[in-house]
């Protein structure tokens, strides 16, 4: 239980509140950005469905999905209501499907890359100022916003790259393949179950210390190593070796 672990873990109440608000803010921003990018890509390809349904706005109430929100607070990862897309409105079907499928993944990678740059240049600020309640709150908030932002955006990109229905990776692969072959039929029937199994195996792997079962945990370890390298590079850049 992500939220319970955070609230019962070490640190002051102010620290925990800053971390929780930072986590919620960047997660909502990242997930909603992913969905909105699908809508804008569809709009550029001639489909106005998302725009007509008011789904090109950052208002969280327009993207609220009950189960995704519950999972968000329980395990620290959730999802928003999918953007409505009518591919029959595309000016060019294949081009439209490919660009819409990749839009969310590209957006998450761009956000992660931008936050990595911010982390590199802003890192000294987390050490520079004297400690007090307000500054500690702001430092914990922004540190969480940046670091968790990098991790969750790269994680969203990887997750959606999986060629499993109904993820973006499936839509991309299915567009390139001939229609009505066994792959599409199999994925439409079993895709959601496969995703559930992958997530369940990841949880089992995490709690039993079996890394190869936890695909996303192993990937997250690589992201953390990347953050550590950026931190070392930033320290060397500002203070030398």
* CA angle (78, 82, 117) in 5-degree steps: 60
- Among the listed residues 35, 52, 65, 231, the single catalytic one is 35
CB atoms within 10 A of CB 61: 6
Give yes or no: 35 in active site.
yes
Q: CA 173 to CA 189: how far, in whole Å? A: 16
Distance CA 180, CA 133 (A): 61
Q: Which H or E element spans position 78?
A: none
Backbone angles phi, psi at 87, to 5 degrees: -65, -20
Structure tokens at 162: 């999986």
Residue 138: DSSP 8-state:
H
d(CA 221, CA 228): 11
Task: Name the DSSP class of 149.
Answer: H
Catalytic (active-site) positions? 35
């Amino acid at each position: 239980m992500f939220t319970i672990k955070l609230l019962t873990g070490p640190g002051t109440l102010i620290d925990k509140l800053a971390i929780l608000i930072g986590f919620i803010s960047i997660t909502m921003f990242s997930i909603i950005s992913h969905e909105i990018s699908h809508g804008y890509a569809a709009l550029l390809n001639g489909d106005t469905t998302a725009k007509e349904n008011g789904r090109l706005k950052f208002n969280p109430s327009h993207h609220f999905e009950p189960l995704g929100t519950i999972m968000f607070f329980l395990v620290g990862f959730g999802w928003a209501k999918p953007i409505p897309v009518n591919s029959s409105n595309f000016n060019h079907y294949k081009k439209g499907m490919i660009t819409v499928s990749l839009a969310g993944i590209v957006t998450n990678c761009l956000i992660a890359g931008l936050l990595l740059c911010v982390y590199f240049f802003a890192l000294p600020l987390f050490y520079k100022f004297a400690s007090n309640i307000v500054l500690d709150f702001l430092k914990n908030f922004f540190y969480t916003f940046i670091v968790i932002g990098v991790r969750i955006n790269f994680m969203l990109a990887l997750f959606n790259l999986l060629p499993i229905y109904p993820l973006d990776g499936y839509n991309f692969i299915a567009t390139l393949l001939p229609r009505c072959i066994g792959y599409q039929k199999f994925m439409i029937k079993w895709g959601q179950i496969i995703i559930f199994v992958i997530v369940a195996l990841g949880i089992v792997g995490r709690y039993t210390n079996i890394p190869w079962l936890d695909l996303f945990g192993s990937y997250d370890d690589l992201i953390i190593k990347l953050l550590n390298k950026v931190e070392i590079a930033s320290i060397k850049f500002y203070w030398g070796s």
